[in-house]
Amino acid sequence: MNAAMEVSGDLTSLGLVQAAAAIAAGEVTSVDLTQAVLAAIRTHAKALNAFLWLDEERALETAASLDKAPRSERGKLHGVPLAHKDMFYSKGRISTCGSRLREDFRPSYTATVIERLEGEGAFAIGGLNMAEFAMNATGHNEYFGHCRNPWNRDYCPGGSSSGSGAAVAARLVYASLGSDTGGSVRLPSSMCGVTGLKPTQTRVSRHGVMPLAFSADNVGPLARSAQDCARMLSVVAGADPRDTTSSSEPVPDYEEALDGDLRGLKVGVPENYFLDGVSPDIMRAFEEALKVLEGRGAVLRRVTIPEMDAVVAYCNLLSRVEGATIHAQWMRSRPQDYGVPLNSRLYANLAVPAAAYVEALSRRGPVLRSVCRAVFTEVDVFVAPTIRIQVPTLAATDIAAGTGNAMDVFSPMSLNAVSSNTRPMNYLGLPSLSAPCGFDDNGMPVGLQIQGRPFSEARLLKIADAFQRDTSHHRKVPPMITA
């Protein structure tokens, strides 16, 4: 059977690795794939508002050029069309960062991760919608319009990589890069039913990527499966002399680790914090996921995650102060060009005492060591729901309309409630992956979040891949796409 048609007759239903394999085998061309995704985008673009810009002519020209390349010069992603959160710089191409302030910005250089993807034959066809300057967990954007969740357009797609989650889930692109400072890869992955990975801090270069909070920013993939995320990470990970914070830790073969064997693997189930106040339907999906892992040979163990009060306090301090610092000049010169959600977050952060910020920075290493000693001497990974609550609606979380609350940690519709399980991993710098594990009572996706010790991305991907071998959540398609 033609490999390109094994999933369905629609080329957009192929996963990233399948699409690359079909091109390598000569069963489809890059032009075929590009025409297929462009047709899907034309069909669903207005309903989802996932794209901020699209360059169809250049996309088809690039695809045609790649189809002529000698086989000896073809890389791991040769000919596969992608699209990314609109904050990854590409020389001369628009990069709005989801903001009025940068609606016409064209960078003079290209992000390292984009260069690496292009070096393996992938190319970007457009820029994806995102929260303004990557600063909210729900995916609202007052200026460019809210991105919509393909499972139900009334619900949040997750932020801040909203367009990435929606476009991958809706089969408009094969994979996407997002950024994650407090959950911005994992939240849209969970809400839209795709797989997303926040790597270890420093694992992936941030050169040429719009910053939000330099102590917590990460670049990671969103894709249909763990295998697809493994392929993306294998391309973009590794040291970069243009990003002096990037790690020189060797990059393993992530795909080679995907053997489905979890026998003896110790999986921690937190006794504190991460399961506090979880919605009953989310808990049911989580418990079913645990049974699947056990069926694959994993051993479940209860574990207490120490220092969580400190982690929560410190991660909020770091991201808020650094965000205000990065935006300070524009906050003084162009305050009217920021949307209401950013105004509600940025300006208050200027009042945070310097001593509190320095304390959060200085305590980071000791807190991480304490967590690793207590947790990873007992288990190999620990798991939790990616989001404790049901996917909220856009209306219920609209700060600009006065129906959402960005700062109230006790509100079930606050940004803090949505991201309570994701933000701690950014302060700790630990790798964290979200994989689809079911649906809530409203029919919206639920995510399983897996985290491990630093640089254990291969293990996280191995677990997610094994889980996906025995489940079909990641293969389900939103009803609006199949209608």
Taking alpha carbons only, the member of 132, 135, 136, 168 closest to residue 150 is 168
User: Which residues are registered as beta bridge partners of 204?
Assistant: 237
DSSP 415: H
Measured in whole angstroms, the distance separating CA 186 from the mean position of its chain's CA atoms is 5
Tell me if 422 sits within 8 A of 386, measured CB to CB.
yes
Angle at the Cα of 320 from the Cα atoms of 214 and 191, rounded to 5 degrees? 85
Rounded Cα distance, 323 and 315, in Å? 12
In single-letter form, the type of residue at position 470 comes to D
Express the helix, strand and coil content of the chain in percent, nearest 5 each: 40, 15, 45
The secondary element (H helix, E strand) that includes residue 302 is strand 299-303
Is 472 known to be catalytic?
no
Q: Which of 30, 184, 234, 246 is catalytic?
A: 184
Q: Which of 13, 30, 76, 85 is catalytic?
A: 85
Tell me if 378 sits within 8 A of 441, measured CB to CB.
no
**Cβ of 483: how many Cβ atoms within 10 Å?**
5
Is 266 known to be catalytic?
no
Tell me if 427 sits within 8 A of 361, measured CB to CB.
no
Q: Is the dihedral of CA 156, 473, 171, 119 positive or negative?
A: positive
Taking alpha carbons only, the member of 111, 135, 141 closest to residue 50 is 141
Give the three-class secondary structure for 274.
Answer: coil
Q: Judging by DSSP bridges, how do beta strands 381-385 and 445-452 pair with one another?
A: antiparallel
Q: Which of 95, 99, 160, 161 is catalytic?
A: 160
Tell me if 191 sits within 8 A of 222, measured CB to CB.
no
* E strand map for 261-298: 266-270
Is 85 known to be catalytic?
yes
Taking alpha carbons only, the member of 294, 305, 289 closest to residue 435 is 289
Catalytic positions, written as ranges: 85, 160, 184
